[in-house]
Amino acid sequence: MNIYNNHNYGDNYTLQAGATVVAKSGLEEALARERIYDELERQAEQQGMTLEEWLAMQKHRNQHKDQHQDLHMDRNRHQEAAAETWLQKSKEERIRIAFEQMKTEKCQGRTANYFGRRVGYQYAFILALMRAKDERYGLPYVETTNEFLTYLKEYVGVKDLPSEDTIGRRLTRISGRYPDWRIEDGNQMDILEAQHVAQRFLSIYMKGV
């Protein structure tokens, strides 16, 4: 490698007696630049390109990467703004929207929609969440089945509610804390159903999705 070839190393040199004399600091910088230049040429050759072509390709990649990062940042900002807007809604409005949305969706493991015909007992899983007073979820506290139905009907505006008996019979079989619920005389499918109902409800209530 010849550091005195046709590359430009700046003005840190003098010519004395026809010989090139490079100051110590300038020599070190020149050697460092030469090593970088050689490495770039090597990478370009591996790609079958000239150095100019390889540098142009890298510039294009970096621009594309920057654009992708900008899009990712914009998406994150949009999600954060949407989440903030969602949380500005009242608890009652978010609960109402969660029930309305879930009633249009098929319940995992069941042929019926969430809270639909023959699965009205699923309201018991939401009541179990509210009774737990878990601050992570920010749900209002409701103690009894009667209070729960009154709250949903008069304050939230949920329609087509099941009977107090339907909810109460399932509620008495639930023990433990979500998501580690146990259901008396129930099987694994019953536990998974309870977890799916609670998980879907909390996702909409807390995040709007």
Query: Which residues have a Cβ under 8 Å from the Cβ of 204 and sit 6 or more positions away?
Result: 94, 97, 98, 101, 102
Greater model confidence, 209 or 1? 209
91-141 tens-digit pLDDT: 999 999 999 999 999 998 888 999 998 999 999 999 999 999 999 999 999
Choose the weakest-confidence range: 22-31, 76-85, 169-178: 22-31
175 forms beta bridges with 182
- Cβ-Cβ contacts under 8 Å for 95 (sequence gap 6 or more): 139, 152, 156, 158, 205
> What burial class does residue 47 get, using C-beta atoms within 10 Å of its C-beta: 0-12 exposed, 13-18 middle, 19+ buried?
exposed
d(CA 205, CA 203): 6
Looking at per-residue confidence, does 27 or 140 come out higher?
140
Q: What sign does the dihedral 93-96-101-102 (CA atoms) show?
A: positive
Burial of 118 (0-12, 13-18, 19+ CB in 10 A): exposed
What's the rounded Cα separation, in Å, for the pair 177 and 25?
Answer: 69
Contact 143, 132 (CB under 8 A): no
Q: How many helices (H) and strands (E) does the chain have?
A: 7, 4
Give the whole-angstrom CA distance, residue 154 versus residue 159.
10
User: How many Cα atoms within 13 Å fall on the side-chain side of residue 172?
Assistant: 5
The predicted model gives 149-175 an average pLDDT of: 97
Cβ–Cβ under 8 Å, residues 190 and 121: no
Confidence of residue 15 (pLDDT cuts 50, 70, 90): very low
152/49: higher pLDDT: 152
Contact (Cβ atoms closer than 8 angstroms) between residue 107 and residue 122? yes
Select the more confidently predicted residue: 208 or 47: 208
pLDDT in tens, 36-89: 777 888 888 888 888 788 788 888 887 776 666 666 676 767 666 767 888 899
What tokens appear for 58 in the block?
Answer: 């890298």
Q: What is the pLDDT of residue 181?
A: 97
Q: Mean pLDDT check: name the lowest of 66-75, 129-138, 148-157, 183-192.
A: 66-75
How far apart, in whole angstroms, are the C-alpha atoms of residue 105 and residue 112?
9
Average pLDDT of the segment spanning 29-40? 73
Residue with tokens 């591996």: 46
Q: What is the structure's pLDDT at 13? A: 42
pLDDT at 187: 93
Tokens of 197: 């109902």
Structure tokens at 118: 């023959």
Q: How confident is the model at residue 198 (pLDDT cuts 50, 70, 90)?
A: very high
